[in-house]
Amino acid sequence: MSTDDKFDAKSDELKGKVKETVGDATNNRDLEAEGRGDQVKGNLKQAAEKVKDAFKS
């Protein structure tokens, strides 16, 4: 997994956590759901890169 890909995936995950927290604090269910979606997106990117790395070895 390249450094840029790792950073991008982690960035999506952290951005999602912030959105979810802010959405929860402000009772904004749409923002909260968007945050959860961003976290899932980041986790899926990380998983895909790990699979690619496994096949490179």
Q: What is the per-residue pLDDT for 57?
A: 66
Whole-structure pTM value? 0.82
| 29-56 vs 3-25: helix crossing angle, rounded to 10 | 160
What contacts 42, CB < 8 A, 6 or more positions away? Answer: 9, 10, 11, 12, 13, 14, 15, 16
Name the residue with tokens 């956590």: 17
Q: Residue 40 belongs to what domain range?
A: 3-56
If one counts the domains in the chain, the total is 1
Please report, in tens digits, the pLDDT of each residue of the chain (57 residues total).
577 888 889 999 999 999 999 999 999 999 999 999 999 999 999 998 888 888 876
Residue 45, token pair as written in the block: 């990117």
For the chain, count helices (H), then strands (E).
2, 0
